[in-house]
Amino acid sequence: MNGFWSLTLYNEKHFFNANPLNRYSLGTKSKSMKPNPDGSLTLYVQNASPGPDKETNWLPAPKENFSLYIRAYWPKEEITEGHWTPPAAVRVK
């Protein structure tokens, strides 16, 4: 890996959203995140906690509108040449 990535959440006024974890982003530098058994990574972007066993991968979100930004620092060619796109966010009810 050349660089690192982050997923950052902003509230509807484009500020960090106050939350009980004081967490505003997740990414490569979030050393406590837990991968799935197959090596993939599930991030939980939601208002309520996904449960104690999943909170290391939780990015607390407001109930109102918000926006997410993925940042890739020192990205590889797959990103800079448009051969990679991030996975879609999936709404789960």
Q: pLDDT (tens digit, 0 to 9) for every residue of the chain, 93 residues total?
A: 578 999 999 999 999 999 999 999 999 999 999 999 999 999 999 999 999 999 999 999 999 999 999 999 988 898 899 998 888 888 887
73: which strand partners? 4
Instruction: List helix spans (H) across the chain.
Output: 77-80
The domain ranges of the chain are 4-80
Cα 15 to Cα 49: distance, rounded to the nearest angstrom: 21
| pTM (2 d.p.) | 0.88
Q: Where are the beta strands (DSSP E) in the chain?
A: 4-11, 25-27, 44-46, 58-60, 66-73
Q: Tell which phi-psi region holds residue 89, choosing left (phi > 0), alpha (psi between -120 and 50) or beta.
A: beta
CATH of segment(s) 4-80? 2.60.120.600
